[in-house]
């Protein structure tokens, strides 16, 4: 009898950017395609209030957020003409996170 094992990886594919902020890392799930209106959901998995901003590569600030511990918030962003989008944690300070469209889930370690 011949047994064949196949391995396949299934990636989570949300319809929005989901940014999960932990004490020492940030995990990002990104949508597969670009829509006219992007949604960014930010989840605070730390024990402190998270303050940050959503900004473009050119420095335009789209929104400021303050998220209590264990809570989340969602932001809507209109079409950015393919400009790069970042979530920048202000307090506590962590490395800024580029939101990359169509990427498999990825993590950003803190800057050492």
CATH number at residue 52: 2.60.40.420
Please report whether residue 73 resides in a domain: yes
Provide the mean pLDDT of the chain: 83
Assessment of whether the complete model's pTM goes beyond 0.85: no
Establish if 2 belongs to a structural domain: no
**Residue 109 pLDDT greater than 50, yes or no:** yes
Q: How does pLDDT run across 56-82, given as a tens digit for each residue?
A: 998 899 999 999 999 999 999 886 777
Most confident region among 50-54, 89-93, 94-98 by mean pLDDT = 50-54
Assign 3-state DSSP to the chain and report helix, strand, coil percentages, each to 5: 0, 45, 55
Domain count, the chain: 1
- How far apart CA 87 and CA 64 sit, in angstroms, is 10
Query: When comparing pLDDT for 47 and 83, which is higher?
Result: 47
pLDDT given at position 1: 46
Q: Which residue has the higher pLDDT, 36 or 5?
A: 36
Query: Average pLDDT in the 16-33 region?
Result: 90
Those residues whose C-beta lies under 8 Å from the C-beta of residue 38, and which sit 6 or more positions away, are 16, 17, 31, 76, 77, 78, 80, 85
Q: Torsion over CA of 36, 62, 64 and 92, rounded to 10 degrees?
A: 100
Domain contains 8: no
């Amino acid at each position: 009898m011949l047994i064949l094992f196949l391995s396949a990886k299934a990636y989570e594919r949300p319809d929005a950017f989901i940014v999960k902020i932990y004490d020492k890392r940030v995990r990002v799930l990104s949508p597969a395609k670009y829509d006219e209106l992007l949604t960014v959901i930010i989840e605070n998995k730390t024990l402190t209030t998270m303050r940050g901003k959503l900004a473009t590569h050119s420095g335009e600030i789209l929104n400021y957020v303050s998220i209590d511990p264990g809570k989340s918030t969602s932001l809507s962003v209109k079409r950015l003409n393919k400009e790069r989008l970042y979530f920048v944690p202000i307090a506590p300070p962590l490395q800024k996170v580029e939101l990359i469209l169509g990427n498999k889930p990825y993590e950003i370690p803190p800057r050492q």
